[in-house]
Amino acid sequence: MTGAARPRPPTHTRDIARAAVRAELAHVAFELFSRDGFDKVTLDDLAAAAGVSRSTFLRYFGTKEDAVLAAYDGHDRRTADALRARPPAEDDWTALRRALDTVIERYHEDPAGSLATTRLVRETPALCARHLEKQHGWRPALAEALAERAGTPGDVTVGHTVRAAAALDCLNVALDHWTASDGRLDLVDLLDEAFAALTGA
């Protein structure tokens, strides 16, 4: 063996490279789904359009649905973290509403892209079902964050879970109205209105 062995790149560098490839594959997939229709596009079509093998594509996304729903990755963690960071004196319902601002940030950053993604998800039964299934998994994280705010970590009550579920329903209702308006209505106002409807405000 001649020369020094090449050091392995730092883990974070590999993670950044992997995230970049994943984002590019997701972009290619979305473009193809938007053009040809989600149900008509196969995994082989996606791999060919991205210039990779089917097995490579599957290393990044296990299903076609995941290639679209990657846009929502990390929302549960960011929302739960934001919820924990809310002022202790703030009531749970207000804290949940403010924590959801982390979710709707991307809708302000890229309204057109967010609208197109939301519409594709809402109008494709397989995507909508998978999205709701994944979002159902947010509830435990939010309920646990509420328990921590109450000073009882690990002791999640029915009330915590109900409030978490109701907050997510408010988000979905607001997004439905926002999508139906072609993005003309203000998503923040819609979310405020949905939360207010459950308090009688």
Q: What is the structure's pLDDT at 12?
A: 74
**Other CB atoms within 10 A of residue 106 CB:** 15
Q: What is the structure's pLDDT at 97?
A: 97
Helix (H, G, I), strand (E, B) or coil at 5: coil
Contact 107, 114 (CB under 8 A): yes
The full set of domains in the chain, from first to last, is 11-68 (1.10.10.60), 74-197 (1.10.357.10)
Contact 38, 64 (CB under 8 A): yes
Q: What is the structure's pLDDT at 95?
A: 97
Residue of higher predicted confidence among 121 and 106: 121
Q: What is the structure's pLDDT at 150?
A: 92
Following DSSP, what letter does each residue of 60-120 receive, concatenated? H-SSHHHHHHGGGTTHHHHHHHHHHHS-TTS-HHHHHHHHTHHHHHHHHHSHHHHHHHHHH
Binning pLDDT at 50, 70 and 90, where does residue 36 land?
Answer: very high
- CA atoms of 110 and 167, how far apart (whole Å): 23
Following DSSP, what letter does each residue of 147-198 receive, concatenated? HHHTT-TT---HHHHHHHHHHHHHHHHHHHHHHHTTT-S-HHHHHHHHHHHT
Over residues 165-178, mean pLDDT: 96
Over residues 24-39, mean pLDDT: 94
Following DSSP, what letter does each residue of 103-134 receive, concatenated? HHHHHHHSHHHHHHHHHHHHH-HHHHHHHHHH
- CA atoms of 27 and 48, how far apart (whole Å): 14
Q: What is the structure's pLDDT at 59?
A: 93
Taken as a whole, the chain contains a residue count of 201
- CA-angle at 22, arms to 21 and 24, nearest 5°: 65
Structure tokens at 177: 């109205």
Q: What is the structure's pLDDT at 78?
A: 93
Q: What is the structure's pLDDT at 123?
A: 92
pLDDT above 70 as % of the chain: 94
pLDDT at 71 over 60: yes
Q: What is the structure's pLDDT at 11?
A: 55
Binning pLDDT at 50, 70 and 90, where does residue 13 land?
Answer: confident
Residue of higher predicted confidence among 146 and 106: 146
The one-letter amino acid code at 92 reads D
pLDDT digits (tens, 9 = 90+) for 110-159: 999 999 999 999 999 999 999 999 999 999 999 999 999 999 999 999 99
